[in-house]
Structure 1
């Protein structure tokens, strides 16, 4: 009896189409991907609408500034993304592609100004690491190492300024006093106690917490045994605050602030250190107020100090925000995020 040709469309054991073909046939998946791509641009529009007055004031005050020094400040801004990429690479054992890594940090910088306490930047980075095949426990452990190294590296930078250039120290007290000191000490004590209480009483968190601690300690030990990871990890962490301070110094020079570069650099380092504990989006708000008062402590007129802070925010937030959102959308389209 001759065998009849099988109808592939009716065969019960036919191979299912590739997953990518299924996604292309599902309009909901395509629409969801397009929505994710357009979401950063929508957030940008909302942000601009809510803070349009700051944009207008900054543009007016910066109209008479030296444009070449503003370009130098913008260069420092994008070099900050390169420094962040160095720290990210130093905090992970796998070799990451250089171009996409730097692009992810440009996108992370834009996301960082939408959510508080660097949540947006860390979320973008974790997604990028997952796309590169890094397991989730080690990806989150690299975020913890990144944050710890960035915080620790700023301390010797400030001390070097105090010891090498004592004239750069502002004529104001830098250490907290009174209730501020009590609140800071209470925060340092309550944070580990709260973590221990969560671990003791919330059992579903025990296994993920142990995996996270093991991954963090193992990666930290292995990474510090490799010079190819230690140098970008700590070198980028030291360079990052100096590059941010360089933006403030460039804007101050462009506006004619009567302060030297060491004083401008130290003013930002002191202000960002004092206000870094407040979980505001990108540090916007606390750092701005602290920087204005620090510049005024040097004798800078308050309107000029305010213009310097507005210029700093323009170069670190508004000017890079649109390119950063476009890079974020491009990375989502190319499935790198």
Structure 2
């Protein structure tokens, strides 16, 4: 059940109206029902329902979702059609050949389809006007007009625009409309008048549309992609019109709620609308003749899809063993809440009793609960939450867990306190019966966290352990993750980040020997999704670059001597990386195993950004060598810091040499200078904003917190210092030599220092890119840099592709073998 605010707490319905306002309503809102005691009709006009006037029209979330879904399907259809052009052309040829074999049938289809596509919508309009539903017809006409104008303008844009592939796809390169104007308007009309809710009319409408498409297709007046796109565009316009102008409000008013309660043998004498629950469902406080009261929750059909995108996102992202459907019917929602309420009562939990349920026509349903004078725990001051109250809360949750009932919303909104100081659990709609272990442990984790935010981790854990036992807390400890908690609790944790670590410490102190398997709730993280999307974009960029050159020609025309030099330089970079890592680790590291680790990092780069994969695998390697995690992170951080210093120093050095000796061959353009100034300005702005500066400072402090002591350890050993410096310098020089050799392999004329400047700049961009191995960003930056340095774009593209083949793609297979070998020998 939902949170209830009652008269004793001093809260009135925020949207209440006076009795005078109610008396001004139209008498048509009054309903009459049979008196359950006598059988004589009894009027409900003696019960004034204090509520705001319901709006005449509503923008239904379901219409907006259908509009978005139609656009998504439209995009998918266009992409699929562009990929399968040859298949569609063959299908069109087959259908055209079949139509030529039966010309009479084609003419009949053309006649029936052309006539019926106008007659059926007109007949439906007449039928609706006859039933005094002309407003719906008006909405359909608006959608038809918008559809006709929209399809015409879109068609003109496609004909005169630059999207030749899409134009040819929709027109077949013939002088026909890309989108059939009449068909678009008819589909928009049928969608806006909700003809899909009338099975007979729906069958007639779509049959005529199919005949119309068949007739035009056999007459080569429309293509298959054009027909599908036209239908989808019409549907999208219809749903957009419905959402834009709104739909008639079919929610039953408060008088209908009173009438439904009378049919349940209740005798209402007062009715007042109170604050809606957290899901947007209406709630009423009902007074009865015997002096008791009811709390009524009304489930409106048009609210069933509210919050659907969030529910779908959570369902896709999390693995929580939930059995709830993301899209629930009104009947299913009613039965679900009622079943959970009855199950909680049977378990002996303190919950308001469910006294009755009923549908209110076809558009709503109600649940009537006994009225309890309670206030939510959120309204109880922290200093009033004593140990006895905490024990009561956990006892109520324990009763639910014994019966395998998961509450799923144990927050201050779902936990109430009555006037006698007893705990009452409300809001059963989010719960589940016959819950699995994971859901029950999630309830414990949620309640632990909420109470810790109110009374502190130590008291929260102590109270829970006294009732639930240490084992239950140890089982819930792996689920103390922000993603597992409710939205309100996650928002509160953002302001108090010490709560979850404090809870873990208290549970570990309570049961130090407890070993619980790690639980991963997230199927994927948002950053993973972003990486996949960016990787797809990067792959598109790389493929577009490959389409500009002939890879076979690149490989066969390259100078093999210079290509061999580039290959050797690529291998030397891995040896140099091993020397660099060994130099920053005072402990002994075997050289060739360390080289294998660097090769393995080239395989990891396929699934991680360039600046992340190497750091992670090197840190893991050092930990497997017995080095403490803090020291391992410090060693890798020290190597990254010194490499950054070397990188900047070499960039400045080569830029100075290039500017002084080869100014004629490498003169930066105004665009490049403007880009550099823009980057510098962006850096100043970012560092000038306190929130961003604090964020960067926090990230750098986390990476380099123990770097200085580690550097001091390295400086005490001259051999380690030399090894680290040589390795760091060799890495950069090896990659520059590799790129220079690739340029020379195709006969490019450019200085070594200019290539060094281009590589060092592009490498910095690639390290910042969130794509695996800087894919896409590195290639684009290298090609741009070499082009600005004076190389022809085709030559620059060939050289960069050869360089990336040798340094990124070719090491993947030996990197995978090294990764597998090291894992088998427990070195990673």
Cross-structure match for 2:694: 193
Pair 1:128 & 2:603 matched:
no
TM-aligned CA deviation for residue 80 of structure 1: 0.5
Q: 2:773 aligns with which of 271, 274, 282?
A: 282
Deviating more after overlay: 145-154 vs 268-277 = 268-277
Structure 1 residues 145 and 213, CA, compared in 2 at 3 Å: closer, same or farther? closer
Cross-structure match for 1:323: 814
Rounded Cα–Cα distance in structure 2 between residues aligned with 1:94 and 1:146 = 15
- Partner of 1:307, secondary structure, is helix
1:163-182 to structure 2, matched below 5 A, reads 163-165=656-658, 166-168=660-662, 170-172=666-668, 176-182=675-681
Q: Which has the higher helix share?
A: 1
1:18-167 to structure 2, matched below 5 A, reads 53=543, 54=546, 57-165=550-658, 166-167=660-661
Deviating more after overlay: 167-176 vs 230-239 = 167-176
Structure 1 residues 285 and 219, CA, compared in 2 at 3 Å: closer, same or farther? same
Cross-structure match for 2:516: none
Rounded Cα–Cα distance in structure 2 between residues aligned with 1:91 and 1:309 = 32
Rounded Cα–Cα distance in structure 2 between residues aligned with 1:240 and 1:215 = 24
After superposition, give the CA deviation of every residue in 1:1-34 in whole Å (9 maximum; x if it has no partner): xxxxxxxxxxxxxxxxxxxxxxxxxxxxxxxxxx
Contact 2:580 2:724 in 1 (8 A): yes
Contact 1:62 1:255 in 2 (8 A): no
Deviating more after overlay: 152-161 vs 99-108 = 152-161
Structure 1 residues 319 and 59, CA, compared in 2 at 3 Å: closer, same or farther? farther
TM-aligned CA deviation for residue 279 of structure 1: 3.4
Q: TM-score, with normalisation over the residues of structure 1? A: 0.74
Cross-structure match for 2:761: 270
After superposition, give the CA deviation of every residue in 1:131-170 in whole Å (9 maximum; x if it has no partner): 1101111111112111111111012222332344533462
Rounded Cα–Cα distance in structure 2 between residues aligned with 1:167 and 1:270 = 19
Contact 2:569 2:735 in 1 (8 A): yes
Pair 1:254 & 2:745 matched:
yes
Contact 1:255 1:308 in 2 (8 A): yes
Structure 1 residues 130 and 297, CA, compared in 2 at 3 Å: closer, same or farther? same
Larger C-alpha radius of gyration, 1 or 2? 2
After superposition, give the CA deviation of every residue in 1:59-92 in whole Å (9 maximum; x if it has no partner): 4422210122111111111110111111111121
TM-aligned CA deviation for residue 336 of structure 1: 1.1
Rounded Cα–Cα distance in structure 1 between residues aligned with 2:609 and 2:562 = 30
The two structures, once aligned, show a CA RMSD in angstroms of 2.9
Rounded Cα–Cα distance in structure 2 between residues aligned with 1:69 and 1:293 = 22
TM-aligned CA deviation for residue 277 of structure 1: 3.2
Cross-structure match for 2:19: none
Rounded Cα–Cα distance in structure 1 between residues aligned with 2:791 and 2:587 = 47
TM-aligned CA deviation for residue 239 of structure 1: 1.9
Contact 1:161 1:266 in 2 (8 A): yes
- Partner of 1:118, secondary structure, is helix
Deviating more after overlay: 128-137 vs 277-286 = 277-286
Rounded Cα–Cα distance in structure 2 between residues aligned with 1:140 and 1:94 = 14
Rounded Cα–Cα distance in structure 2 between residues aligned with 1:64 and 1:104 = 34
Contact 2:609 2:767 in 1 (8 A): no
Rounded Cα–Cα distance in structure 2 between residues aligned with 1:167 and 1:262 = 9
Structure 1 residues 128 and 181, CA, compared in 2 at 3 Å: closer, same or farther? same
Deviating more after overlay: 306-315 vs 224-233 = 224-233
Rounded Cα–Cα distance in structure 1 between residues aligned with 2:551 and 2:607 = 20
Rounded Cα–Cα distance in structure 2 between residues aligned with 1:213 and 1:164 = 32
Q: TM-score, with normalisation over the residues of structure 2? A: 0.32
Count of residues in correspondence between the two structures: 280
Contact 2:740 2:752 in 1 (8 A): yes
Contact 1:62 1:307 in 2 (8 A): no
After superposition, give the CA deviation of every residue in 1:166-191 in whole Å (9 maximum; x if it has no partner): 33462116664454322222344565
Q: Which runs of 5+ in 1 are unaligned?
A: 1-45, 200-207
